[in-house]
Amino acid sequence: MIEQFLQQLCNGLVMGSGYALMAVGLTMIFGLMYVVNFAHGELYMLGGFFAYYLTALFGINFFLSLVIAILMVMGVGLIFEVFALRPLREQGILTTVLITIGLSIFLKNTALILWSPIPKNMPTPFSPIALTLGSVYITEERIFAIIAAFTVIVCLHLMLQKTKIGKAMRATFQNKESAALMGVDINRVYSFTFALGSGLAAIAGVLLGSVFFVQPTMGSLATSKAFIVVILGGLGSFPGAIGGGFILGMAESLGAGFISTGYKDAIGFVFVILILLFMPSGLFGRKK
Amino acid sequence: MALLETKKLTKYFGGLGAVKDVDFLINRREIVSLIGPNGAGKTTFFNLITGFFRPTKGKIFYKEEDITNLKPHQLAVRGIIRTFQKTKVFPGVTVLEGVIMGSHLTINPHILGILSNTAATRKEEEKVRQKALDILNFLGIEYRKDILAKNLPYGEQRILEIAVALAADPELLLLDEPATGMNPEETKRVTKLIYKIREKGITVLLVEHDMNVVMGISDSIVVLDSGEVIARGLPQEIRENKEVIKAYLGEEYTHA
Amino acid sequence: MKKRFSYFRWFLFLFFLLSVPFLPIGNYQLHIIIIGCIYAVMVLSLNLITGYVGELSLGNVAFFGVGAFTSALLTLGGVSFWVSFLAAGMVAGIFGSLIGYITLKLRGAYFVIVTLAFAEILRLIDTNWTSLTNGPMGLSNIPLPEIHIPYLLNITFSDKIHFYYLSLGLLLLALYVVYRLVNSRIGRAWVSIRENEDLAKSIGINAFNYALLAFVVGAIFTGLGGSVYAHYMSFIGPDVFSFSITVSMLIMLIMGGKGTIIGPIIGAFVFTALPEYLRIAQLYRLSILGIILIFAVIFLPAGIVSMPKRIISFIKERRRQFGTS
């Protein structure tokens, strides 16, 4: 019983890492730009696929592919922000929701056409044999995923606290108008934020894609999960996104292990409804 | 019986006391002005008595009924209608349509009447439309009736605000800085309008910075500073009140 | 502007509508028209909460699915179509009230996400509660509607023509109700919430109640549409809760023109017909749809119905520029 519990907890940690990275990106984009990015999952998917093709087709080193894939997705995000989101910035949330849905549809279906719906396995330099920590089985891939996720989150935190752009972002997050008055280039901050959020989604895509597999439709579920976590943790809250990500990851793993796998995905949605009913600002959120 | 009365009305935002223990009273057909330096709590007071903020402590009574925790639309039903410090109009509809929307409370067609478009329903619609035109006439902006509200110049948007409020058949009309941002010509216009409104039997409470307007129009004045009432009385008394002058010393209030 | 057609012109138009099945159009075209009618009803419904009240709902597909399953399950259990049809509307309405009661306390992005959450939960319930819904296998052999009036009528809806009249009838009913509501005090209250909610509240409008009304009325008609769909297709599965229906409805609403009455109808028929006629590009169809949505939002935010106005003002602007020389 205990072993089963620990095993599921461990699995949950892997999923949780992915969820946390996705959610941080999404909540950052929402908190700063007030944009609900429905294409977030597709950016995650692109990350996975770019990394897959770089390693599988071009034989590039896994870690290098990781970096290149992230940069490529950040580029995609940047282009979208500059050409589609920026002109419509003043138009309200309905408009931005629609346009990101449009991007999501386009990316997903183009991916389906180009890369076929068959799931693909990403070749990694890690040994497929599971290690045992006590009674828990875990592969090197998974360990890498968890460590990488933690590292990224720590680096992100440092960036936000110490660097100039990080401070600019925090100022804009607090109050857009005051930040502009203080000389912050809002356009640059927005573009950087969206690119950064895309990059975080891409990292999640590579990490989880390497642990499981990549397929063009993986984005849809990822978007749902990211939204759930963001609501759970509070729209706009970074600690909330991280905490919420791990809570959801582990709750799902435990649920799947002890209740049923079919309704596993429903756990998240039930969380959402409960939270929105009783604590709309989320577990860690700020009151709006 | 006072029309509106507050007893020890208090509002704290965190540790900040925006309105503290305010006792206030206004009688029917009076024009009362609420003045005070910036940040004195005037708009917070308005928001409290119109249901947009919940008081931390204290009570509000309207015609002896306790209305302390009612919501804005419930207060509107009782005849308390307000305008806003930052102009609020319905930007995407025409001036006439906006005023018609204002008369929402004044008709109550039955849902079946709406669905079957009975003669009674149509008559009510016509009534409401005519009333809107009358109000626009009364306020002098009838020639703007088909312009979208967002395309009106600022001064006329403020008049439109009053038009929409009047359409709701107020008993107590609260005007939040009606003359702010207006040139002397427009200010005179608004002042005359307030007199005309009172002639119709409506009680008016206004927050205003323009002292010419305030001194000329008010039956009595209440002065707030840092959330507390520091003086109340006739314009003449307020003008000479030492506390009031001290509160405003160093305060440069500009009109328009 | 309310146009006043003379009663004669309306009668003529109605006569035309009723005679459509007898025109020289193929069975396939009739199928598209039927689906178009059903979507038109759904988009008209979505338009109430999203176009008029101004809150984007991604959950309306839930009412479509609920209506479809209610109607299917009841008729499979022996209940007459007409009772099941009404029940579908009622059950969808009840779901609308419950979901609306919870979700309409929130606004903006929160409302968008929580309505989506509800739709997804219902989809998951449908996929997993196999004893009721047969899960991914779905319900088949859904009975056809019938009308039995002793000595007078004995019809089974076995032909597309029957479903054309049924869906047309539903569309006309929905159109009538929406038209009346929108052009009344209720419609004005909806618009006032969209245009400035604080101002609306200050003149006595209970924003929550009116938003709820828009949501529930929309839910009822969407549920009725679901019922018609179920009996027309005779088979329904979890894809009656699918997000792609939500996306279609959004495209139809935006491209047609939200906040108008004709817009949803135009959008529904254009975007039911268009993908079918783009069959050649079937493979790329959905990708193209995504691009269309992006461009529509950027270049035609007020939809197709706004095109005549924009063309006219464009012409006027050019005339003005060149007229003075």
CA distance C173 to C166: 11
Q: Are strands B65-66 and C139-140 parallel, antiparallel or unpaired?
A: unpaired
Q: Is residue C23 part of a domain?
A: no
Q: Name the minimum distance, in Å, from the CA of C302 to any CA of chain B.
A: 12
pLDDT, residue C56, reads 92
pLDDT, residue A262, reads 65
Pick from C103, C111, C113 the residue to mutate for testing the A interface (most A CBs within 10 Å): C113
pLDDT, residue B160, reads 94
- For residue range C67-87, what is the model confidence (pLDDT) as tens digits? 999 999 999 998 999 999 999
pLDDT, residue C33, reads 93
Q: Is residue A125 part of a domain?
A: yes
Q: Is residue C214 part of a domain?
A: yes
- Residue holding tokens 């006032």? C192
- For residue range B10-21, what is the model confidence (pLDDT) as tens digits? 999 888 888 999
Q: What are C155's two structure tokens?
A: 């019809």
CATH 3.40.50.300 corresponds to the domain B4-248? yes
B148 touches chain C (CB under 8 A): no
Compare C2 and B256 and report the one with higher pLDDT: C2
Average pLDDT over residues C202-213: 96
Distance of CA B216 to the CA centre of its chain: 18
Residue A288 has pLDDT above 50, yes or no: no
Neighbours of chain B (3+ CB pairs under 8 A): C
Q: Is residue A119 part of a domain?
A: yes
In chain C, how many domains are there?
Answer: 1
| Coil vs helix vs strand at B113 | helix
Is residue A51 very low, low, confident or very high in pLDDT (cuts 50, 70, 90)? very high
pLDDT, residue C55, reads 93
CA distance A123 to B80: 71
* Residue in chain C nearest B122 by alpha carbon: C184
In order of A215, A264, A285, C241, the CA distances from A41 in angstroms are: 12, 19, 23, 20
Neighbours of chain A (3+ CB pairs under 8 A): C
* Average confidence score pLDDT of chain A: 86
Residue B202 has φ and ψ, to the nearest 5°, of -90, 135
ipTM, 2 dp: 0.90
Q: What are A62's two structure tokens?
A: 């896994």
CB spacing of A235 vs C109 below 8 angstroms: yes
Apex CA C145: angle with CA C163 and CA C214, to 5°? 70
Compare C228 and A96 and report the one with higher pLDDT: C228
Q: Is residue C20 part of a domain?
A: no
Q: Is residue C229 part of a domain?
A: yes
Concatenated DSSP letters for A136-204?
A: EEE-HHHHHHHHHHHHHHHHHHHHHHHSHHHHHHHHHHH-HHHHHHTT--HHHHHHHHHHHHHHHHHHH
Touch between chain A and chain C: 3 or more Cβ pairs under 8 Å: yes
Q: Which residues form the domain of C187? A: 28-323
pLDDT, residue B255, reads 39
| pLDDT < 70: residue spans in chain B | 249-256
Q: Which of A76-85, A177-186, A208-217, C117-126 has the lowest mean pLDDT?
A: A177-186
- In terms of average pLDDT, the best of A11-15, A62-66, B114-118, C219-223 is C219-223
Q: Is residue C83 part of a domain?
A: yes
Residue C1 has pLDDT above 50, yes or no: no
| Coil vs helix vs strand at B51 | coil
Q: Which residues form the domain of A59? A: 8-218
Residues in B closer than 8 angstroms to C184, CB to CB, are 109, 114, 121, 125
pLDDT, residue C282, reads 67
Residue B52 has φ and ψ, to the nearest 5°, of -80, -25
pLDDT, residue C229, reads 96
Concatenated DSSP letters for C46-70?
A: HHIIIIIS----S-THHHHHHHHHH
Is residue A152 very low, low, confident or very high in pLDDT (cuts 50, 70, 90)? very high
- Among C101, C27, C39, smallest CA distance to C229 is for C39
- For residue range A176-207, what is the model confidence (pLDDT) as tens digits? 788 888 888 888 899 999 999 999 999 999 99
In chain A, how many domains are there?
Answer: 1
CB spacing of C195 vs B72 below 8 angstroms: no
- Residue holding tokens 């976590």? A229
Compare B118 and C193 and report the one with higher pLDDT: C193
CB spacing of B89 vs C198 below 8 angstroms: no
CB spacing of A269 vs C243 below 8 angstroms: no
- For residue range A80-110, what is the model confidence (pLDDT) as tens digits? 999 988 888 877 777 888 899 889 989 998 9
pLDDT, residue B256, reads 32
B88 touches chain C (CB under 8 A): yes
C205 touches chain A (CB under 8 A): no
Is residue A143 very low, low, confident or very high in pLDDT (cuts 50, 70, 90)? confident
Q: Name the minimum distance, in Å, from the CA of C259 to any CA of chain A.
A: 13
- Residue holding tokens 């990080």? A166
pLDDT, residue C141, reads 87
pLDDT, residue A132, reads 78
Q: Name the minimum distance, in Å, from the CA of C182 to any CA of chain B.
A: 10
Q: Is residue A166 part of a domain?
A: yes
Residue A33 has pLDDT above 60, yes or no: yes
Tell me the percentage of chain A whose pLDDT exceeds 70. Answer: 95
Q: Dihedral sign, CA of B186, B188, B194, B198? A: negative
pLDDT, residue A280, reads 67
Q: Name the minimum distance, in Å, from the CA of B11 to any CA of chain C.
A: 20
Q: What is the largest CA-CA distance in chain C?
A: 77
* Residue in chain C nearest B116 by alpha carbon: C180
CA distance C288 to A61: 35
CATH number at residue C158: 1.10.3470
- Among C158, C145, C164, C160, smallest CA distance to C231 is for C145
C175 touches chain A (CB under 8 A): no
pLDDT, residue C281, reads 62
Residues in C closer than 8 angstroms to B81, CB to CB, are 202-203
pLDDT, residue C263, reads 93
